[in-house]
Amino acid sequence: MKTLRADFNAFGMAPLPAKQQGASLIIALVMLVLISILAIGGMQGSILQERMASNAHDGAISFQATEAALRQAETDVLANIGTRLDAYATPMLVDPWEWDGTNPVPSGTGNAGPDVSAQPIYHLARLADVCPEEQGQPCFERYRVTVRGQGGSDEAITVLQSTVLLPPEL
């Protein structure tokens, strides 16, 4: 039976070869760099998805706030004669999507709760009456309601419009 004999140094370890190439160190470093690049790419993708989700949430809050104020403004037109008289003298907005809420002055302010950066505002203007073709029938009054609302930040803006048709008073 043959026995293998190895020479050991003073520390109890086999001696190292006289010349080393260092290839394992280079391969390990390259693998570490590749893994780091993949990790950084994954983090950037996660950050982008987080921003997209935040913007979608902000847009949804803006739309809900604007829609709530639209319903409040429609109720105001239907229930309040003073609001209708004010709207009679108010000109229509030329470009509603460019209305900044200051020029012309808004007709009122809605209440959308504490989650918005600013409460929605609305503009009311009277449109032409709608009269039936039959003679002697009463005409309907029409009003244009334009609402501008913001979401959780002032960058998420929604503008909605509706037309309110009042029943004739007999």
Q: What are phi and psi of 96, to 5 degrees?
A: -60, -35
Residue 79 in any domain: the answer is yes
Residue 34 in any domain: the answer is yes
**Domain containing residue 29:** 23-166
Residue 116 in any domain: the answer is yes
Residue 62 in any domain: the answer is yes
What residues contact 100, with CB distance under 8 A and at least 6 apart? 148
The total of structural domains in the chain comes to 1
Residue 55 in any domain: the answer is yes
Q: What is the pTM of this model?
A: 0.72
Q: What is the pLDDT along the chain (170 residues), one digit of tens a residue?
A: 566 565 666 666 666 666 667 788 888 999 999 999 999 988 888 889 998 998 999 999 999 999 999 999 999 998 888 888 888 888 888 888 888 888 888 888 898 888 899 999 999 999 888 888 888 888 888 999 999 999 988 889 999 999 999 887 65
Q: How high is the pLDDT of residue 101?
A: 82
Closest alpha carbon to 164 in 123, 133, 132: 123
Q: How high is the pLDDT of residue 14?
A: 63
Residue 17 in any domain: the answer is no
